[in-house]
Amino acid sequence: MSIEIDHLSFSYRGSKTKVLDDITLSLPRGSFTGLVGPSGCGKTTLARCLNGLIPHFYPGEMTGNVIINEWNTIDYAAYELAQKVGLVFQNPENQLVAPNVEREIAFGPENLGVPRQEIRRRVEELIRNIRLEEIRDKAPFELSGGEQQRVAIAATLALQPEILVLDEPTSNLDPLSAFELLQLLHRLNREKLLTIILIEHRLELVAPLAQELVVLDEGRVIAKGPTREVLMEEKVAEVGVAIPKVVQLAKKLNRPHLIQACPLSVESAVKAILEELKR
Amino acid sequence: MILFDDVWFSYTPNHPVLREISIEISPGEVVALMGENGAGKTTLVKHINGLLKPSRGTVFIDGVDTRSTSTAALARKVGFVFQNADHQLFADTIEGEVAFALRNLGFPSDEVQERVSQYLERFDLARYKEQSPFLLSGGERKRLALASVLCVEPTILILDEPTQAQDAKQKLKLAQLVDSFRRSDSIILLVTHDVEFAVQVVDRLLLLSKGCLLADGAPRQVLGNPDLLRRARLLPPQLTQLAHKLADKVPTFPRDIIALEEAVTATSKLLAKR
């Protein structure tokens, strides 16, 4: 399922600022894109445009179009779009509603009238996949921030969307849990061809996984393309995107082969340095 | 000064969330509290401003037992910025949000005005001052929460996940802010998962896992111990990971690297040798 964003601009009611300013992007089916940029640059607003929360829920002025696989988001209700585009919020507390984890996962499909058997199957599969066995009977308020985040993701996946948009999903997670969560997203992307758009400040986590990066600043796209190329652009660091330490190291060492290799993970940096040593 | 003397805490009987916690933090220290999700970090810091009282043991703030004082009295001393800014923001305007605590504590109105503009400026929020806090982005709301607590100038500042949703520029500002505190006689306690930020700003690192204090020491010492970190579900800083992996192949390569400059120096040296 592809996403076509065409000259999209938006300002919230009560504010004159264009939070999104003439954005044009094309994200193919099965792609894994990192959406990055300084705090307040419009990342969350763009995410809200992808599942129809804008313009259907948040009042404001929108121009341009967002086309999800030939559906213009203006013409479809938020509940219809929710079956195609799942959005995991920045703050999981804002989307958890049910008395326990199992019911939370079942909540979305129940609302859409999915048959009982099928709901049961999806719930069990997600509890297994996202490793929620130990907390399945707990209430969302009994869970830690990280656990809540995993439950929110499971509940979103229960609608079987083809596009998953995640707004800083690892911000409440300890580093190992964050790493595991991104491995899970990577697996869903590869095995289920789920199109993933990941908003994330911790670029050291995103860089090894995302094929493409889109960088926003003040509501505009200032860079986009393959992750390696984007990370090497000076202006990306200048707007306040945290370039991973291994990339900074490669830049500082200033050796053509290392820069060309542009290691995105610790493993590839070690490999590139050892190769440079043999050269 | 913060003193935890053999503190235990349980929300429900027989399920201790904190066990045998003994810590002493002196004025001027910048300390990070790290550990896995559910380790008890937030529960621990809530003992400092008296939101929670220990089930066993004692917490002393500047020599006073938190059981014998009120949360209101502690609020003048202890500033607490929550993990989720939405839990503390409520005013109609951004200005009003910052002014609230100042007015409440009886500051004269010109002083309130002065501090409000000073702190909005400092946190890069001045241009929004008449807007509703809820029109701000997640990262901006986080900064507003920080401004509204800092303007009271507490002597103990607790920041629960302050770098969450912050970009590199804002993190740098936050690091500078922590530095300005370091020079005063205040205490800063950061609850964080952000290893890279912690190594940059703190003098001391407390590692909490499953309610127990696993380590208490200099960041370099604690973060250089991968087994300890794994138990608290932390990963070493990226460059420490790199140093360990390189040292496995090239034994002369130093393992205890945490900062970029150190990695650049060591790697340049390695590559120059050949």
Q: How far is B45 from chain A (nearest CA, A)?
A: 15
d(CA A66, CA A25): 9
Mean pLDDT confidence for A212-231: 95
CB-CB neighbors (< 8 A) of A249 in chain B:
239, 242, 260, 263-264, 267
Could you read off the pLDDT of A138-153 as tens digits, one per residue?
998 888 777 888 899 8
A·B CB contacts under 8 A: 137
d(CA B152, CA B81): 12
Instruction: Give the count of alpha carbons within 13 A of A51, CB side only.
Output: 24
Query: Quick one: tokens of A71?
Result: 């559906």
Mean pLDDT confidence for A221-246: 92
Has this prediction a pTM greater than 0.95?
Answer: no
Mean pLDDT of chain B: 90
Q: In this predicted model, which residue has the larger pLDDT, A1 or B61?
A: B61
User: Which residue in the block uniquely carries the two structure tokens 């919020």?
Assistant: A89
Query: Is residue A56 within 8 angstroms of chain B, CB to CB?
Result: no
Least confident of A19-33, A255-269, B245-259: A255-269
Contact A91 B139 (CB under 8 A): no
Provide the pLDDT for residue A271: 94
Nearest CA in chain A to B196: A245
CB-CB neighbors (< 8 A) of B86 in chain A:
91
φ and ψ of B3, to 5 deg: -135, 120
What does the DSSP 8-state code read for residue B178? H
**CA distances for B216 relative to B188, B206, B210, angstroms:** 16, 5, 15
Cβ-nearest to A174 among B36, B267, B270: B36
pLDDT at residue A178 tops 80: yes
Cβ-nearest to B246 among A93, A248, A273: A273
Provide the pLDDT for residue A256: 86
Mean pLDDT confidence for A243-270: 90
How sure is the predictor about A181, in pLDDT bands with cuts at 50, 70 and 90? confident
Contact A39 B139 (CB under 8 A): yes
Provide the pLDDT for residue A146: 72
CB-CB neighbors (< 8 A) of B195 in chain A:
175
Interface test with B, best of A138, A201, A202 (most B CBs within 10 A): A201
Q: Name the region of B161 (left: φ>0; alpha: ψ -120 to 50; beta: rest).
A: left
Per-position DSSP letters for B73-87, written without gaps between them: HHHTTEEEE-SSGGG
φ and ψ of A85, to 5 deg: -120, 115
Query: Which positions ≥6 away from A197 have C-beta within 8 Å?
Result: A3, A27, A33, A35, A47, A50, A163, A164, A165, A166
Q: How far is A80 from chain B (nearest CA, A)?
A: 26
Mean pLDDT confidence for B188-205: 92
- Residue closest to A151 by CA, chosen among B225, B98, A243, A142: A142
Q: How far is A165 from chain B (nearest CA, A)?
A: 16
Contact A171 B165 (CB under 8 A): yes
Contact A173 B234 (CB under 8 A): no
pLDDT at residue B150 tops 70: yes
Query: Which positions ≥6 away from B20 have C-beta within 8 Å?
Result: B6, B7, B8, B212, B213
- Confirm if A264 and A203 have CB atoms less than 8 A apart: no
Least confident of A89-98, A258-267, B68-77: A89-98
Interface test with A, best of B231, B267, B268 (most A CBs within 10 A): B267
Could you read off the pLDDT of A70-119 as tens digits, one per residue?
899 999 998 899 889 999 987 777 778 888 999 999 999 999 899 999 99
Contact A171 B270 (CB under 8 A): no
Contact B249 A274 (CB under 8 A): yes
Q: In this predicted model, which residue has the larger pLDDT, A260 or B29?
A: B29
Query: Is residue A162 within 8 angstroms of chain B, CB to CB?
Result: no
CB-CB neighbors (< 8 A) of A92 in chain B:
none
Pairing assessment for the beta strands B156-160 and B187-191 based on DSSP bridges: parallel
CB-CB neighbors (< 8 A) of A277 in chain B:
250, 270-271, 274
d(CA B139, CA B150): 17
Contact A172 B164 (CB under 8 A): yes
* ipTM for the predicted complex: 0.83
CB-CB neighbors (< 8 A) of A241 in chain B:
167-168
Query: What is the separation of C-alpha A249 from the centre of its chain, rounded to a whole number of angstroms?
Result: 26
pLDDT at residue B133 tops 70: yes
Provide the pLDDT for residue A176: 86
Q: How would you label A154-180 residue by residue, b for 16+ Cβ within 10 Å and e otherwise?
A: bbbbbbbbbbbbbbbbbbbbbbbbbbb
Cβ-nearest to A171 among B164, B263, B267: B164
Could you read off the pLDDT of B251-274 as tens digits, one per residue?
999 998 988 999 999 999 999 875
Query: Is residue A44 within 8 angstroms of chain B, CB to CB?
Result: yes
Mean pLDDT confidence for A56-62: 94
H-helix or E-strand spanning residue A50:
helix A43-50
For A141, other C-beta atoms within 10 Å of its C-beta total: 9
Contact residues, A window 69-108, toward B, CB-based 8 Å cutoff: 90-91, 93
Helix axes A245-253, B260-273, angle to 10 degrees: 40
Q: How far is A112 from chain B (nearest CA, A)?
A: 30
Cβ-nearest to A249 among B84, B138, B263: B263
Provide the pLDDT for residue A81: 92
Could you read off the pLDDT of B110-126 as tens digits, one per residue?
999 999 999 999 888 99
Contact B83 A145 (CB under 8 A): yes
φ and ψ of A137, to 5 deg: -95, 0
pLDDT at residue A184 tops 90: no
Cβ-nearest to B242 among A93, A171, A266: A266
Contact A277 B83 (CB under 8 A): no
CB-CB neighbors (< 8 A) of A253 in chain B:
264, 267-268, 271
Query: Is residue A266 within 8 angstroms of chain B, CB to CB?
Result: yes
Provide the pLDDT for residue A1: 65
**Which strands sit side by side in the sheet containing B212-217, from one edge to the other?**
B78-81, B156-160, B187-191, B30-35, B204-209, B212-217
- Residue closest to A78 by CA, chosen among A51, A105, A60, A98: A51
Provide the pLDDT for residue B274: 58
